[in-house]
């Protein structure tokens, strides 16, 4: 409501202006016509706004034929240079219902969104001014003619006889016959208005006393019809006697009634202007002699609490130190006659608080002397709002660009407007590749195309969406993602789509791995319970057998069998503990001496049957290797143990060949034996928990499972190649980890 009231007051102010306001358009299709003209046009031209805006009346039908050329040239120049910042000005005669009047049109341009150029301005009726100019010209002509004896209000007065010689024109000015005016001049001062008489007498007296070259005086003289008529009298004493007394003076008289009427009109106009300015919502000040001579109430409200705190002060007192030069430049340019438009700077209030203002300054006449008028408005709140907006945009921009989440902004049709770095990192596409294109064409799998289109439709219809689905990376790999989609609304209308993508591929992998681990755990519990109970059951059976009455078996044989079962049980428990330790123990990095570690492993496994039959070949080269010693040891313990257990009993030369080459970044290990080998169908299963590939095995089935998990913990790679009956080779690649 307040904005409507402000607009209404502005409209009333425009309607009350003593001028016609208008907007004239150069349309993109070449047409030119008025699109707005204020109601005052009817008073000035005799045509209503609707008549002018209808386009029926051509511009040429209004303009005097002698002035049409200058108008047309000005229009052509402005239409070919629409971005020219200078105002368009034109003076000329236009036709009205009462005849031709002189007008002055002033307009400034702006470019509209559709390419049209709009000229907004005002039209003043300057007929009076032109008439005054013409009168002045004529008066000057008459004065010149008077000097040559032309028909002007001329007089020649004789002080000694009190006689006046008057020309006929003077009598006509006052409405008298010549003889009547000659008689009146005998008692001339009696016909001067009482309020002006003393000033007239004073002027005459000062002229006589000072013997000045001439005198000039304005006063009201009684015309024949009884009215008081303003006249301007100019004269000079041209003859003196020997005692210094005036003998004769000559001069002219001019009808000054119209001039005085114009002065009054100007005063009235200034009063109306003052009233208008006093009620404007903009600050208006007048600077003269570098001090503030006037400020309206709106300006006082911006800078102080009362005008007395401002009037008479130097204008720079209201500029902060860093803004004084800017204020000085603005005022200097205005004093040179320039109009300084839309300068933004800071003003200083009487409380020494800074306010942001937008200032327009230009030359002005105040009390008949040059001055500067400044119109300013407080834009502090606007600036603060702008700062808040920029801050909000900065927050959003930084959040958008630095967010680790993938974010895409689409239009309502699902076409890309922008994507952030997180999106580029997640999907491999950048903004330049995607902008203006449908995002679904790039990242939605073919089997989910309908889902992608439905999502855009739901979001554009103001629904917030969360969905777990799959999307494609640029390299063709599939990503598991959660998509959060929400509409971008302006005035409750959707203008775009905001999509956030959360990569849950790793989470999904972990979930799948967890399922696998859970399955392994179930299997582990079952196998552990089974493999623990089996040796114990055998031991219990042997003990019970030894206790049978009448049993004459050698107890040593029972003890030997019980020892074997306990050893088997101990080996199984060791493998289980090793597996648990591998899962839980953090990496402990230290330098590793492969030779010492491998020799110690062979020594520890000497108890295995056939260990003393194995031939060994160890080759180590390269730089120092750093890793987790315990896990490296577990890898070699299980590989060497398996090579001993699964040696080929038909061969007389069972052998283990170990080759190790270490670089600064990686270590490459080749572990080969010539044992019984592994069949092709079993090679994919040997790293599974509790899997036994051979009937020759009496182990726990955890050995190679532990090796695989240890390599994975060390972020390495493991491959196997084997031929049944010929042997097996393991290829292990491990990173050389920093301390």
Inside any domain, residue 333: yes
Three-class HEC string of 226-254: CCEEEEEEEEEEEEECCCCCEEEEEEEEE
At residue 249, the pLDDT reads 87
Domain final residue pick, 501, 536, 568: 501
pLDDT band of 59, cuts 50, 70, 90? confident
* DSSP structural state of residue 476: S
Crossing angle between the packed helical segments 2-16 and 257-279, to the nearest 10 degrees: 170
What confidence tier does 662 reach under pLDDT thresholds 50, 70, 90?
very high
Q: What confidence category does residue 735 fall into, taking pLDDT thresholds of 50, 70 and 90?
A: very high
- Tell whether 696 is covered by a domain: yes
Is 144 a residue whose pLDDT tops 80? no
Contacts of 42 (CB under 8 A, 6+ apart): 48, 49
Task: Calculate what percentage of the chain has a pLDDT beyond 90.
Answer: 18
Residue 438, Cβ neighbours under 10 Å: how many? 16
Q: Which residues pair with 373 in a beta bridge?
A: 286, 362
Host H or E run for residue 646: none
| 167 vs 617, more confident | 617
Number of other residues whose CB lies within 10 A of the CB of residue 462: 12
Same domain? For 612 and 720 the reply is yes
Q: Using one digit for the tens of pLDDT, what is the confidence trace for 403-455?
A: 888 889 888 888 999 999 889 989 999 889 999 998 888 989 988 888 877 77
Per-residue tokens: 66: 């002698």
Task: Say how many C-beta atoms besides its own lie within 10 A of residue 238's C-beta.
Answer: 13
Buried b (16+ CB within 10 A) or exposed e, 38-68: bebbbebbebebeebbeeeeebeebbeeebe
pLDDT at residue number 552: 66
Does 334 score more than 50 pLDDT?
A: yes
**More confident call, 566 vs 325:** 325
Q: Which of 584, 605, 622 is the last residue of a domain?
A: 584
Element (H, E) at 739: none
pLDDT band (50, 70, 90) for residue 311: very high
- The CA-to-CA distance between both ends of the chain, in Å, stands at 73
Domain boundary among 125, 147, 162: 125
**Cβ neighbourhood burial of 309 (10 Å; 0-12, 13-18, 19+):** middle
Domain residue limits at 162: 132-261
Neighbours of 140 (CB within 10 A): 10
Do 700 and 593 fall within a single domain?
A: yes
Q: Starting at the earlier edge strand, list the strands of the sheet with 717-723.
A: 615-622, 655-662, 666-673, 727-735, 717-723
Domain co-membership, 595 together with 496? no
- What pLDDT is attached to residue 657? 94
Strand order in the sheet with 291-295: 291-295, 283-288, 369-378, 354-366, 340-348
Q: Are 698 and 645 in contact (CB under 8 A)?
A: yes
- Closest CA relative to residue 296, chosen from 281, 316, 318: 281
Q: What is the CATH number of the domain that holds 509?
A: 1.10.287.130
The helix (H) or strand (E) run that includes residue 714 is none
Q: In whole angstroms, what is the distance from residue 427 CA to residue 408 CA?
A: 11
pLDDT > 70? residue 547: no
Cα–Cα distance for residue pair 473/479, rounded to 1 Å: 7
Domain count, the chain: 6
Is the same domain home to 197 and 324?
no
Q: What is the DSSP letter of 118?
A: E
Same domain for 726 and 596:
yes
Residue 271: inside a domain, yes or no? no
Of 458 and 306, more confident:
306
Q: What confidence tier does 710 reach under pLDDT thresholds 50, 70, 90?
A: confident
Alpha-carbon distance of 19 to 196, in angstroms, equals 35
Rounded Cα distance between 293 and 44, Å, is 34
Same domain, 36 and 100: yes
Residue 597: name the closest of 559, 561, 636 by CA. 636
Q: Which of 65-69, 256-260, 509-513, 543-547 has the lowest mean pLDDT?
A: 543-547
Distance CA 596, CA 718 (A): 23
Average pLDDT over residues 584-601: 85
Give the per-residue pLDDT at 668. Answer: 95
pLDDT digits (tens, 9 = 90+) for 66-113: 988 888 887 777 767 666 667 888 899 998 888 899 999 888 888 888
| pLDDT for the residue 6 | 47
Query: β-strands 615-622, 655-662: how paired?
Result: parallel
Confidence (pLDDT) at 147: 42
- The rounded distance, in Å, linking the Cα atoms of 224 and 181 is 9
CATH number for the domain that contains residue 446: 3.30.450.20
Q: Is 460 a domain residue? A: yes
Q: Which of 183-192, 513-522, 663-672, 711-720 has the lowest mean pLDDT?
A: 513-522
Per-residue confidence (pLDDT) for residue 151, from 0 to 100: 47
Residue 608: closest CA among 660, 653, 564, 658: 564
Average pLDDT over residues 684-701: 59
Q: What gap in Å lies between CA 174 and CA 155, rounded to an integer?
A: 14
The DSSP symbol for 322 reads G
269 Cβ contact partners less than 8 Å away, ≥ 6 residues apart: 18
Domain membership of residue 309 (yes or no) is yes
The residues near 596 (Cβ < 8 Å, ≥ 6 apart) are none
**Is there a single domain that holds both residue 307 and residue 354?**
yes
Q: How far apart are CA 686 and CA 314, in angstroms?
A: 97
| Helices vs strands, H then E, count in the chain | 23, 27
* Residues 596 and 713 placed together within one structural domain of the fold: yes
Residues 148-185 pLDDT 10s: 444 467 788 888 888 888 877 778 878 888 888 888 88
CB 494 within 8 A of CB 411: no
Does some domain include residue 511? yes
Contact 301, 377 (CB under 8 A): no
- The full DSSP string for 399-462 is HHHH-SSEEEEEETTSBEEEE-HHHHHHHS--HHHHBTSBTHHHHS-GGGHHHHHHHHHHHHTT
Is there a domain that residue 268 lies in?
no
Same domain, 728 and 591: yes
CB within 8 Å of 142: residues ≥ 6 apart: 150, 151, 152
Which strands form 215-222's sheet, in the order they lie side by side? 163-166, 153-158, 246-255, 228-240, 215-222
Look at residue 728 in the predicted model and tell me its pLDDT. 92
Q: In the chain, helix, strand, coil percent, each to 5?
A: 45, 30, 25
- Strand ranges of the sheet holding 465-472, from the earlier edge strand across to the other edge: 416-419, 406-411, 493-503, 478-490, 465-472
User: What is the pTM for the complete model shown?
Assistant: 0.37
Write down how long the chain is.
739
How far apart are the C-alpha atoms of 407 and 503, rounded to whole Å?
11
Q: Which residues contact 310 (CB under 8 A, 6 or more apart)?
A: 285, 292, 295, 299, 300, 303, 304, 318, 350
515 and 609 both lie in a single domain? no
- Residue pair 465/486 in contact by the 8 Å Cβ criterion: yes
CA angle 202, 207, 213 (to 5 degrees): 150
Predicted confidence (pLDDT) at residue 146 exceeds the cutoff of 60: no
**pLDDT per position as a tens digit, 550-579:** 666 667 766 666 665 566 556 656 655 565
pLDDT for 738 equals 81
Residue 723 lies in a domain: yes
Tell whether the model's pLDDT for residue 523 goes beyond 60: no
DSSP structure string for 338-401: --EEEEEEEEE-TTS-EEEEEEEEEEEEETTEEEEEEEEEE-HHHHHHHHHHHHHHHHHHHHHH
Average pLDDT for the chain: 81
Give the span between the Cα atoms of 698 and 276, in whole angstroms: 110
Alpha carbon 487 to chain centroid distance?
A: 20
Do 353 and 459 share a domain, yes or no?
no
* Residue 149, pLDDT score: 47
pLDDT, average across residues 471-492: 87
Alpha helices (runs of H) in 593-665, residue ranges in sequence order: 594-604, 629-645
Same domain, 55 and 101: yes
CB-CB contact of 737 with 592 (8 Å)? no
């Amino acid at each position: 409501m307040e904005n409507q009231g402000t607009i209404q007051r502005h409209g009333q102010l425009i309607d009350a202006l003593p001028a016609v306001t208008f907007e004239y358009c150069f349309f993109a299709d070449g047409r030119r016509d008025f699109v707005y003209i204020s109601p005052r046009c009817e008073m000035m031209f005799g045509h209503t706004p609707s008549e002018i805006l209808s386009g029926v009346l051509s511009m040429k039908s209004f303009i005097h034929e002698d002035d049409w050329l200058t108008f047309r040239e000005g229009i052509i120049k402005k239409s070919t240079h629409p971005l020219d910042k200078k105002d368009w000005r034109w003076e000329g005669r236009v036709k009205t219902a009462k005849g031709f009047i002189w007008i002055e049109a002033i307009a400034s341009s702006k470019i509209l969104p559709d390419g049209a150029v709009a000229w907004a301005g005002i039209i003043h009726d300057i007929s009076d001014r032109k008439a005054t100019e013409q009168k002045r010209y004529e008066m000057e002509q008459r004065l010149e003619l008077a000097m040559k004896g032309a028909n002007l209000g001329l007089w020649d007065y004789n002080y000694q006889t009190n006689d006046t010689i008057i020309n006929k024109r003077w009598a006509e000015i006052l409405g008298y016959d010549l003889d009547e005016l000659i008689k009146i001049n005998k008692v001339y001062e009696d016909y001067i208005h009482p309020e002006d008489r003393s000033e007239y007498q004073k002027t005459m007296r000062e002229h006589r006393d000072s013997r000045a070259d001439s005198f000039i005086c304005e006063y009201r003289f009684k015309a024949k019809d009884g009215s008081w008529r303003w006249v301007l009298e100019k004269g000079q004493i041209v003859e003196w006697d020997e005692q210094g007394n005036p003998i004769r003076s000559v001069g002219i008289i001019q009808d000054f009634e119209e001039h005085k009427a114009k002065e009054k009109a100007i005063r009235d106009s200034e009063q109306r202007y003052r009233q208008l300015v006093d009620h404007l919502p903009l600050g208006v000040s007048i600077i003269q002699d570098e001090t503030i001579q006037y400020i309206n109430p709106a300006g006082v409200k911006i800078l102080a609490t009362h005008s007395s705190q401002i009037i008479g002060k130097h204008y720079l007192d209201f500029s902060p130190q860093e803004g004084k030069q800017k204020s000085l430049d603005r005022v200097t340019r205005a004093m040179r006659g320039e109009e300084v438009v839309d300068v933004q700077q800071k003003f200083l209030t009487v409380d020494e608080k800074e306010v942001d203002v937008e200032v327009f300054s230009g030359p002005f006449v105040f009390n008949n002397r040059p001055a500067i008028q400044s119109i300013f408005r407080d834009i502090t709140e606007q600036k603060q709002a702008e700062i808040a907006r920029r801050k909000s945009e900065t927050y959003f921009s930084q959040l958008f660009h630095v967010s680790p989440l993938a974010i895409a902004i689409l239009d309502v049709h699902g076409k890309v407007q922008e994507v952030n770095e997180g999106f580029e990192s997640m999907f491999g596409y950048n903004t330049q590749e995607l902008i203006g294109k449908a995002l679904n064409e790039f990242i939605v799998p073919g089997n989910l195309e309908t889902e992608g289109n439905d999502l855009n439709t739901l979001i554009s219809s103001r629904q917030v969406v969360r969905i777990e689905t799959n999307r494609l990376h640029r390299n063709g790999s599939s990503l598991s993602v959660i998509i959060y989609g929400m509409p971008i609304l302006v005035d409750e209308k959707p203008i775009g789509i905001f999509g956030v993508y959360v990569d849950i591929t790793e989470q999904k992998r972990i979930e799948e791995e967890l399922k696998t681990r859970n399955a392994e755990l179930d299997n582990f519990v079952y196998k552990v319970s089974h493999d623990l109970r089996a040796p114990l059951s055998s031991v219990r059976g042997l003990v019970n057998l030894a206790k049978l009455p009448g049993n004459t078996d050698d107890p040593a044989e029972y003890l030997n069998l019980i020892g074997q079962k306990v050893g088997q049980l101990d080996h199984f428990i060791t493998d289980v503990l090793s597996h648990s330790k591998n899962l839980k123990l953090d990496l402990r990095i230290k330098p590793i001496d492969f030779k010492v570690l491998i020799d110690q492993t062979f020594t520890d496994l000497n108890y295995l049957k056939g260990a003393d039959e194995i031939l060994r070949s160890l080759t180590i080269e390269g730089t120092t290797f750093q890793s987790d010693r315990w896990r490296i040891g577990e890898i070699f313990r299980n590989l060497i143990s398996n090579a001993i257990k699964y040696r080929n009993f038909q061969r007389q030369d069972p052998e283990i060949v170990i080759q190790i080459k270490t670089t600064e970044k990686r270590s490459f290990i080749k572990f080969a034996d010539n044992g019984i080998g592994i069949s092709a169908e079993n090679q994919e299963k040997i790293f599974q928990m509790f899997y036994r590939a051979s009937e020759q095995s009496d182990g726990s089935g955890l050995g190679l499972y532990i090796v695989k998990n240890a390599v994975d913990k060390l972020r390495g790679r493991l491959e196997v190649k084997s031929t049944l009956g010929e042997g097996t080779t393991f290829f292990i690649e491990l990173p050389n980890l920093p301390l």
